[in-house]
């Protein structure tokens, strides 16, 4: 997602989860909707911090994967300086990433049972 001419990604890392949980009531990530349904100014402030945490998570993961991150870190001030339409796009991208990263996935291992081969007659 382009923000002020730089490409940013979003990832819910453990660090991003902790930062976002700290913004939620009682530090409980499961109470995120309470903040998102609150007062407008609280929602904007939360969302800006949420976006920054998700962007930091992505950048940190990229760095530790050995990739170079050349853009400046995203800040709350930068997010709040976005026009409303761009803010909504960035918010949507960060929330989509959050939802994708919190989905539970189950991998099914192949069965170890041997299938009987057809008998020869």
**Residue 110 class from Cβ within 10 Å (0-12 exposed, 13-18 middle, 19+ buried)?**
exposed
pLDDT digits (tens, 9 = 90+) for 61-98: 999 999 999 999 999 999 999 999 999 999 999 999 99
* pTM given for the model: 0.83
- What does the radius of gyration of the chain's CA atoms come to, in whole angstroms? 20
With H, G, I as helix, E, B as strand and everything else as coil, classify residue 41: helix
Instruction: List Cβ<8 Å contacts ≥24 apart for 61-69.
Output: 61/11, 61/13, 62/9
Quick check: 106 pLDDT over 50?
A: no
């Amino acid at each position: 997602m382009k923000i002020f001419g730089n490409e940013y990604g979003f990832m819910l890392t453990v660090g991003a989860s902790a930062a976002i949980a700290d913004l939620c009531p009682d530090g409980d990530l499961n109470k995120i909707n309470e903040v998102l349904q609150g007062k407008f100014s609280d929602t904007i402030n939360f969302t800006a911090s949420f976006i920054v945490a998700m962007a930091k998570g992505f950048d940190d993961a990229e760095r530790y994967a050995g990739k170079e991150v050349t853009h400046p870190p995203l800040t709350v001030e930068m997010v709040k300086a976005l026009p409303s339409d761009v803010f909504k796009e960035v918010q949507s991208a960060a929330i989509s990433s959050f939802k994708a990263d919190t989905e539970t996935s189950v991998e099914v291992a192949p069965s170890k049972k041997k299938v009987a081969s057809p008998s020869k007659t």
